[in-house]
Structures are given as C-alpha cells and as structure tokens.
Structure 1
Amino acid sequence: MKLAVIGGTGLIGSQVVKKLNAAGHEAVPHSLSTGVDIIEGQGLEEAVAGADVVINLTNSPTFDAASLDFFRTSMENILTASAKAHVGHVVILSIVGVDQVPDLDYYRAKVLQEDMLKAGTIPYSIVRATQFMEFMDATLAMTTEGDTVRLPRTPIQPIAADDVSSAVAEVAAGSPLNGVLNIAGPDVYPLDELGRITITAKGDGRNVVTDDDAGMFAAVPGDVIVAPKDARIAATRYTDWLS
C-alpha cells in the first residue's frame, strides 16, 4: 500500500512513516521541506499521485483565529488533490473532545477540519488523541512568570506521541472508519498536579500555583478532553515516560 503522509517530517508524522514502512508499506513523507505547500497548493498533486491513502498530519503555526483559515484552506486543497488522484482513504489527527470547547479558536478550527473531511466524497478516518506528553513543557512555559507557573485544575489524560503514531499508522493501513477513533493515555491528572509532577521529576525550581483562569486550558469545561467510554487506552504512563 502506498501512503502519502502530509506533515510527514514532524513529531507524529516521522514516526508514522517509520512504522508504516517497517510494516512493509510504502509511506512517503511530504512537507514544506520537501517542496509541498498545502496552503498555496504547490507540489500537492504530485505528492498524492498514486497514493492509496493520504494522511494529513499538518498543523497550524498559530493557535489563534488564524488557525481557522489555515485548516479551511489546507483541508480544501488536500481533499481536492486527493479526489483528483482517486485516493481511497484520507486520515487526519484531531483532539479528544474537540467539539466541546467552543471558546478556543484552535479547537473550533480543528472541528472545521473534521467537518470538511466528513462532508467530502472520500472515505475517511479521524483519530482523536488526548494531550501529548511531549507538549507538557510548552504548556508550562505558556503560563510561567518568573519562578511561578499558573495552571488550572483541568483534567488531562496525557498520551505518548509513540502511542499516537502507532494508532494513526494502524488506522491508515486499515479500512476507512468513516468515523472517529478516540485514543488516550492510561491516567487522568488535574493539570496543576501534572505540572508539579513534571517539575519535580526534572529538578525544575519553579513553583506551580493553582489558577483556574490561567492559560488556554482554563477554557475547557469539565472533563470533556479526557477519554470517552469508547476510547482506546494506550499503555505508556506519564511517570514512566518522564523517567
């Protein structure tokens, strides 16, 4: 099977390419660095030509309202090129609970991306993952002032990028779901507690203060971004990943 992995040089994409090729498929990575521009469309038709499956793992460079334009344009271009190439399956990576956080521009942009894929003519699969363990440092940095980190008590169920890439590769190599697969790590933490665990493990001198109005996750209502009942639970625990 030939798979075009758009965004195939990033954190998840590079691992997806490696896993698919190890399984005997022909997975080809594409990105700006390989000459594929999903906004302008340059190189996109050539990238998906002859592919059985297109995996879109690209991400907006911002988390603000501009992300709506990014996902609208990129998804339209990818779907148009895929239809022209008679691709039989398009896969995207999204976020668990993404449709339940309307106050975040980025989440609304991801919902738009999902809706465009569902409304298209190509069989599809959506893999929704919880927050990546690899992004915890960036989450801490977003609300750090001096030696203080302010974090809300938002429930988080972190998942390792390796587990995410395994799920994406498996779905891409299978029959289209024409639906959603939710995946998550095994443990749920309040985000402020997760911050303290991270800082302690790394010997970081900062202090975490609980602030339910701090950062983007303050806009998340309740526990909507933790695994729903039908989710697939990955094996990697955050404490093991940290060590």
Structure 2
Amino acid sequence: MKFAVIGGTGLIGSQVVKKLNAAGHEAVPHSMSTGVDVITGQGLEEAVAEADVVVNLTNSPTFDDASPAFFRTSMDNLLAACRKGGVGHVVVLSIVGTDQVPGLVYYQAKALQEDILKAGRIPYSIVRATQFMEFMDAVLSWTTDGETVRLPATPIQPIAAKDVSDTVADVALGTPLNGTLEVGGPDVFTLDELGRITLEAHPDGRTVVTDDTAGMFAAVPGDVLTTKGDARIAPTHYADWLS
C-alpha cells in the first residue's frame, strides 16, 4: 500500500513513516520542509496522488484563536486533494476529550477538524490520544514562576509518542473505522502529581504547588482527558519512560 503522511517529519509522523515502511509498504513523509503547505495548498495534490491512505498529522502553530482557521483551511484543502486523487482512507490524529473542553479554543478547533473529516465523503478514521509524555517539560515551563511550578489537579493519562505512532500506523493499515479509536497510557495521575514525579526524577530546583486556576489545563472539567470504555491502553508506563 502507498501512504502519504502529511506532517510526516514531526514527532509522531516520522515514527509512523518508519513503521509503515518497515512493514513493507511505501510511506512518504510530507511537510513544509518537503514543499507541501496545507494552508496554501501548494504541493498537496501531488503529495496525495496515487496514495491509498492519507495520514494527517499536521498541527496548528498556535493554541490560540487562530487555530480554528488553521484546521478549517487545512482540512478543506486536504480533503479536496484527496477526493481529486481518489484516496480511499484518511486518518487524523486528535485528542481524547477534545469535544468536552469548551473553555479551550484549541480543543474546539480539534473538534472542528474531526467534524470536517466526518462530513468529507471519504472513508476515515480518527485516533484520539491522551497527553504525550514528551510534552511534560513544556507543561511545566508554562506555569513556572522562579522555582515554583503551579499545576492543577487535572486527571491526566500520559502516553508515549511511540505508542501513539504505533496506534496511528495500525489504524492506517486497517479498514477505515468511520469512527473514533481512543488510546491512552496505562496510568492516570493528577497533573500536579505528574509534575512532582517528573521533577523528582530530574530535579532542577523547582517544586510543584497545586493551583486549580493555573495554566491551560485549569479549564478542563473533571476527567474528560482520560480514556473511557473501549479504548486501547498503551504499554509504556511513565516511570519507565522517565528512566
């Protein structure tokens, strides 16, 4: 099979390409660096031409009010190119709980991306993943003030990027779900607890203070960022990933 992986040079995309090629398929990475621009449409038709499956791993460059326009334009352009090229399956990576966090515009934008895909008249699959372990350092930096990190007690189910990539590749190789698969890590922590575990493993002088008003995750209600029901549970534990 031939795969076009849009956003195929990033953290997840590069691993998806590697896995698909190792399985004997032809997976080609596409991104701005290879001349493909999902906003202007430059190179997009050529990128998806003759592809059996298109995997969309592009992301908005910001989490702010500009993100809905990014996902609307990029999806409209991508689906138009896929219809023209006769693509039979489009896979998109999204976020667990994205439609349940009205206080975060970025999550609203990801829900919009899903809705556009569902209405796009091409067989599709949506993979919703929990928060990446690799992003924990960034999360800590967002609310650091001197030697204090303020974090809310929001339930988080961290997953390793490798496990996300494995799931995306597996879904891309399969029959279109015309629905959603959730995947999350094997353990649930509160975000403040996860911050303390991270800094205990790699101390840098900072300490974590619980503050349910701090940072973007303060807007998350309840446990909506954790998997429910028939989700896939990935194998990598956070403690093993840290070590």
TM-score by length of 2: 0.99
Provide the secondary structure at the position in 2 that maps to 1:69: helix
Alignment of 1:1-243 (within 5 A): 1-243=1-243
- Structure 1 distance, partners of 2:189, 2:208, is 14
Provide the secondary structure at the position in 2 that maps to 1:195: helix
How many Å apart are 1:88 and its aligned residue?
A: 0.1
| Matched letter for residue 192 of structure 1 | D
Q: Give RMSD over aligned pairs.
A: 0.4
Runs of 4+ with deviation above 6 angstroms: none
- Structure 1 distance, partners of 2:229, 2:35, is 41
Provide the secondary structure at the position in 2 that maps to 1:92: strand
Where does the alignment leave 5 or more consecutive residues of structure 2 unmatched? none
- Structure 2 distance, partners of 1:189, 1:128, is 19
Provide the secondary structure at the position in 2 that maps to 1:93: strand
How many Å apart are 1:11 and its aligned residue?
A: 0.1
- Structure 2 distance, partners of 1:76, 1:159, is 29
Deviation string, structure 1 residues 73-97 (Cα, Å, up to 9, x no partner): 0000000000000000000000001
| Matched letter for residue 141 of structure 2 | A
| Matched letter for residue 35 of structure 1 | G
Provide the secondary structure at the position in 2 that maps to 1:54: strand
How many Å apart are 1:9 and its aligned residue?
A: 0.1
| Matched letter for residue 136 of structure 1 | M
Aligned length: 243
How many Å apart are 1:70 and its aligned residue?
A: 0.4
Deviation string, structure 1 residues 155-210 (Cα, Å, up to 9, x no partner): 00000000000000000011100000000000000000000000110122101000
What is the aligned-residue identity percentage? 77
| Matched letter for residue 109 of structure 1 | A
- Structure 2 distance, partners of 1:229, 1:186, is 14
How many Å apart are 1:69 and its aligned residue?
A: 0.4
Provide the secondary structure at the position in 1 that maps to 2:50: coil
- Structure 1 distance, partners of 2:14, 2:83, is 25
How many Å apart are 1:230 and its aligned residue?
A: 1.2
Provide the secondary structure at the position in 2 that maps to 1:181: strand
Where does the alignment leave 5 or more consecutive residues of structure 1 unmatched? none
| Matched letter for residue 140 of structure 2 | L
Deviation string, structure 1 residues 204-228 (Cα, Å, up to 9, x no partner): 2101000000000000000011011
| Matched letter for residue 156 of structure 1 | I
| Matched letter for residue 8 of structure 1 | G
How many Å apart are 1:63 and its aligned residue?
A: 0.2
- Structure 1 distance, partners of 2:229, 2:154, is 19
How many Å apart are 1:29 and its aligned residue?
A: 0.1
How many Å apart are 1:8 and its aligned residue?
A: 0.0
| Matched letter for residue 73 of structure 1 | T
| Matched letter for residue 28 of structure 1 | V
